Amino acid sequence: MTEKPLVTIYTDGGCEPNPGAGGWAAILLTTRADGSPHERELSGGAPDTTNNRMELTAAIEALRALSKPCHVLLHTDSEYVKKGITEWLKGWIAKNWQTSSKTPVKNKDLWQTLHAETQRHEIDWRWVKGHAGNEYNERVDRLAAEQIKKF
């Protein structure tokens, strides 16, 4: 049985203003069969969205880009994404997509898509402090900001 490849992912999303024009980005870091490092950048945006929708989209698109099941170390500076997927999602599903205060879950469509994308991977969700000098977090922040400028 072969071990799943390891992929390290950094994601970010944002809007200016919020809501408004948005951008998202991801960097996927892997090691090729010959041992050499490989980086892949992904980014996109939307003309009328929110920060949270862009943060979720970044994670979704990064996982979609993986062609086979992987062990993923996914870094996000969004506590909304990290807590949503690791703490809140199970309860939302059990309560038919209602929050603990019995209101509909915001961004349900993206949460459902993200949940579906996670099913084929083993994912270690990691929160990283934004704008704190982490090389890859700073890069995805810049890439997302470039996408916002297109709108």
Is the torsion defined by CA of 47, 53, 59, 64 positive or negative? negative
Residue 12 annotated among the catalytic residues of the structure: yes
Question: Distances in Å between the alpha carbon of 143 and those of 24, 45, 91, 96, 136?
Answer: 7, 10, 33, 35, 10
Catalytic residue selected from 12, 44, 84, 117: 12
77 belongs to the catalytic site: yes
The secondary element (H helix, E strand) that includes residue 113 is helix 108-118
Query: Catalytic one among 3, 34, 35, 131?
Result: 131
List the catalytic residue out of 14, 77, 84, 117.
77
CA distance 88 to 70: 23
List 61, 75, 84, 141, catalytic entry:
141
Determine which one of 14, 23, 55, 117 is catalytic.
Answer: 55
Q: Catalytic site residue 55?
A: yes
Catalytic residue annotation: 12-13, 55, 77, 131, 141
